Structure 1
Amino acid sequence: MMKVEEALHMVGGAGDTSYASNSRLQEKAIRKTKDIVEKALKNINGEVVSKSLVVADLGCSSGPNAFLVISQIISAVMEAGFQKAKEIMFLLNDLPGNDFNTIFRSLSLYEKKVKEENGDQVLPYFVAGVPGSFYGRLFPSNSLHFAHSSYSLMWLSQVPVGIDQSGGVNINKGNIYISRTSPPIVSRLYLEQFKRDFSSFLKLRSQELVNGGQMVLSFLGRKSSDPSKAEVCRLWGLVADALNSMVQEGLMEEEKVNTFNMPFYAASKEEVQQVIQSEGSFYIEQMQILESNWDPFDDSDDDQIFDNVKSGHNVAKCIRAVLEPLLVGHFGQDAIVDQVFERYAHNVAMHLLEEKTKHIVFILALKTKDLHH
């Protein structure tokens, strides 16, 4: 079994295929949450008593987006006119395989940038890295005022138990995620895993946040009530097509493809609300649904595809920055990765001619219930 905590991390460094160079899609979502983050911080303003405001960014990854979150929060705090907070502590969390070094190396550059953006009156702030899975405890009790997580909670703690039965029968043959050819039990196992993971995420954060603390979360979801019709099923389905075409040409073992499944789930709005309500630690203050083109460089609102081949390449680079470590962890050879993504880019280009599918992103503002834990 692939250990997700070891294999899941974005491509590090700052090269052409790195996440730092290919995270515009995620950046757009962070920019869209700006107002919600400001509002949440204003709400905390009245209730935060301590001198230091403590903020956690869960699943921070590496590259410019980690800093975008920091600078947004600094601006929001200054705009909210925090009377009591004299400094901010940023705790950047991600899995141990994350490229924390790149973040720490570029801190001084960003300090300059933050000063340029906010003038010299910037509140002093401190940055620390916290490696570990957010499906476990990360921080002391009642120590956080605000938690933020962008584009992370659709990643599960593991591939759902029972899907890749090693040595047994693989029940999701030829697919790497829920698809129209998956037996119904596959969707059910994915949903159960999501409920367990998201519930434990909420429960643990409620212990770590102070009373009245807030969270702003954004993650991929779906519009349809049927999980096999999720927009993102097409995205992963086109990766599966690339892998299966390599099996047919004898470039890859069929068994390898049959045992690769994504530790990922795109929930529906109802599923998300249901978990929050039944877990019981948070109120939903606000929920928005954002649609975003697959191609991170396509900012058009209409269904026109200007250059589907170029879009295919853009999508492939964006997905590769996320998926490469998982593929290498499972298939072993680095050499196949180029091939997989060349084929994938072609598949996406052909798909976009038929239909301009969008990413569905949920943005939630949650407030802790006063439970006096």
Structure 2
Amino acid sequence: MELTQVIHMNGGIGETSYANNSWVQRKVISLTKRIREEAITCLYRSTLPRRSIAIADLGCSSGPNTLSVVSDVIKSVEKICQKLNHLSPEYQIFLNDLPGNDFNSIFRSLDSFKEKLRNEMVSGIGPCFFNGVPGSFYGRLFLTKSLDFVHSSYSLHWLSQVPEGIENNKGNICNSSTSPPNVKKAYYEQFQRDFSLFLTCRAEEMNEGGPMVLTLLGRKSNDPSSKEGGYIWELLAMALNDMVVEGIIKEEQLDSFNIPDYAPLPSEVKLEVEKEGSFSINHLETSEVYWNAYDNNCNPHDCELDSSETHTCDAGYNLAKCMRSVIEPMLVIHFGNAIMEDVFRRFQKTISDHMSKEKIKFVNVTVSMTRRS
């Protein structure tokens, strides 16, 4: 089956849904808010006055995070309009993800989102027109020169496909510390092809001078299999390998499963932007989020987590649920649904064991760039 039909988060609002377990992604969106505000402010001030702004959020997923970026962008523009005594522009908003995404949940939330936004902006806002855009962002999605601002958070580390020629990555499910050199090379080359294609497609679709802000799960270490990169998937592989030993999963099933995920260095992101040539980089920086939500300078009562995401103080439980909401659809397609509870019970225990011994972080790479003239 094509990956475009398989890669999506758990939909709905259930216990294992992405909507109720996306606290890592929410924290990252909060950490990068300043960069988005700077980008949209520069765009508005450079083309005064504006009658409309077309915004695209790529890899939007579903749940409370989906519209938070849109809300922040609109509020930033409205504040400038009030300060300059300008009329509010009209907003054309495109929400993109792969076809399996839970778009229905997004559409059902739009009325309440608009009402909440109007209540928060007492001076009023311009009309907002929403569009769902199913499809892969590793290809054209929009009309030529139709977008003013493009955003993507925690999506571009997902590759368009599992790299070819990695059949010898046995016992592993990702670019791991025990993967052969050819596997590490194949993952990096797949990232290069995909990210370059992404940039080329967006260059066609964006107006000159338009900003694009991207955040990827990345790393600081030169080792692509470091604990900053895909280490979380190595822990999942441990659980799956135990199930192979116990005869629950066939060895060939595990050996034929690989996750299309690559965590790049900031320098690798910069290199592809410069090689493709359509964008100039304004900011390139990293940020960090601890695996343990309660190490992120917050507690369950005053941080980004809401009550639905803090059923327990077991950090391993919380992180395992977060990762389950991301990877479960792919696992179900390959291994079947019957073993999922067993898989994630083991995964949670493995995560908890490692988190009890050390503090581990996700590293995020954020790049803000402008479409060249």
- Per the normalisation by structure 1, the TM-score is 0.92
Asked if 2 retains the 8 angstrom alpha-carbon contact of 1:145 and 1:210, the reply is: yes
Say which SS state the counterpart of residue 53 (structure 1) adopts: strand
Partner of 1:299: 296
| Pairwise CA distance, 1:358 | 0.2
1:134-149 matches, cutoff 5 A: 134-149=137-152
Q: Distance in 1 between matches of 2:293 and 2:53?
A: 33
Partner of 1:311: 315
CA root-mean-square deviation: 1.6
Say which SS state the counterpart of residue 173 (structure 1) adopts: coil
| Pairwise CA distance, 1:98 | 0.3
Q: Deviations over 1:210-229 (max 9, x none)?
A: 00011011110011112122
Amino acid in the other structure paired with 1:311: A
Q: Distance in 2 between matches of 1:59 and 1:233?
A: 19
Say which SS state the counterpart of residue 130 (structure 1) adopts: strand
Partner of 1:305: none
Asked if 2 retains the 8 angstrom alpha-carbon contact of 1:283 and 1:367, the reply is: yes
Greater Cα shift, 76-85 or 60-69: 76-85
| Pairwise CA distance, 1:47 | 3.7
Partner of 2:303: none
Choose from 331, 335, 338 the match for 2:338: 335
1:155-234 matches, cutoff 5 A: 155-163=158-166, 170-234=167-231
Partner of 2:352: 349
Partner of 2:329: 325
| Pairwise CA distance, 1:85 | 5.7
Q: Distance in 2 between matches of 1:320 and 1:123?
A: 38
1:101-116 matches, cutoff 5 A: 101-116=104-119
**2:258 is equivalent to residue 254 of structure 1:** no
Choose from 277, 280, 283 the match for 1:280: 277
Q: Distance in 2 between matches of 1:146 and 1:263?
A: 27
Q: Distance in 2 between matches of 1:15 and 1:263?
A: 26
| Pairwise CA distance, 1:337 | 1.0
Structure 1: runs of 5 or more not aligned:
164-169, 302-307
Amino acid in the other structure paired with 1:69: V
Say which SS state the counterpart of residue 46 (structure 1) adopts: helix
Amino acid in the other structure paired with 1:61: S
- Per the normalisation by structure 2, the TM-score is 0.92
Q: Deviations over 1:99-141 (max 9, x none)?
A: 0000001111111211222125122111110000000100000
**2:57 is equivalent to residue 36 of structure 1:** no
Q: Deviations over 1:152-174 (max 9, x none)?
A: 000000001112xxxxxx31000
Asked if 2 retains the 8 angstrom alpha-carbon contact of 1:230 and 1:266, the reply is: no
**2:45 is equivalent to residue 46 of structure 1:** yes
Asked if 1 retains the 8 angstrom alpha-carbon contact of 2:89 and 2:126, the reply is: yes
Asked if 1 retains the 8 angstrom alpha-carbon contact of 2:44 and 2:50, the reply is: no
Say which SS state the counterpart of residue 140 (structure 1) adopts: coil
**2:71 is equivalent to residue 71 of structure 1:** yes
1:72-111 matches, cutoff 5 A: 72-81=72-81, 83=86, 86-111=89-114
Distance 1:309 1:111, change over 3 A: closer
| Pairwise CA distance, 1:296 | 3.6
Amino acid in the other structure paired with 1:355: E
Q: Distance in 1 between matches of 2:80 and 2:259?
A: 41
Structure 2: runs of 5 or more not aligned:
299-311
Q: Deviations over 1:16-57 (max 9, x none)?
A: 100000111111111122211111111111344652100000
Q: Distance in 1 between matches of 2:136 and 2:293?
A: 27
Partner of 2:154: 151
Q: Deviations over 1:248-290 (max 9, x none)?
A: 1111111111111011100111111111111111111011210
How many residue pairs are counted as aligned between the two chains? 356
Partner of 1:304: none
Asked if 2 retains the 8 angstrom alpha-carbon contact of 1:223 and 1:230, the reply is: no
Q: Distance in 2 between matches of 1:218 and 1:297?
A: 22
Say which SS state the counterpart of residue 267 (structure 1) adopts: coil
Amino acid in the other structure paired with 1:326: M
Asked if 2 retains the 8 angstrom alpha-carbon contact of 1:309 and 1:349, the reply is: no
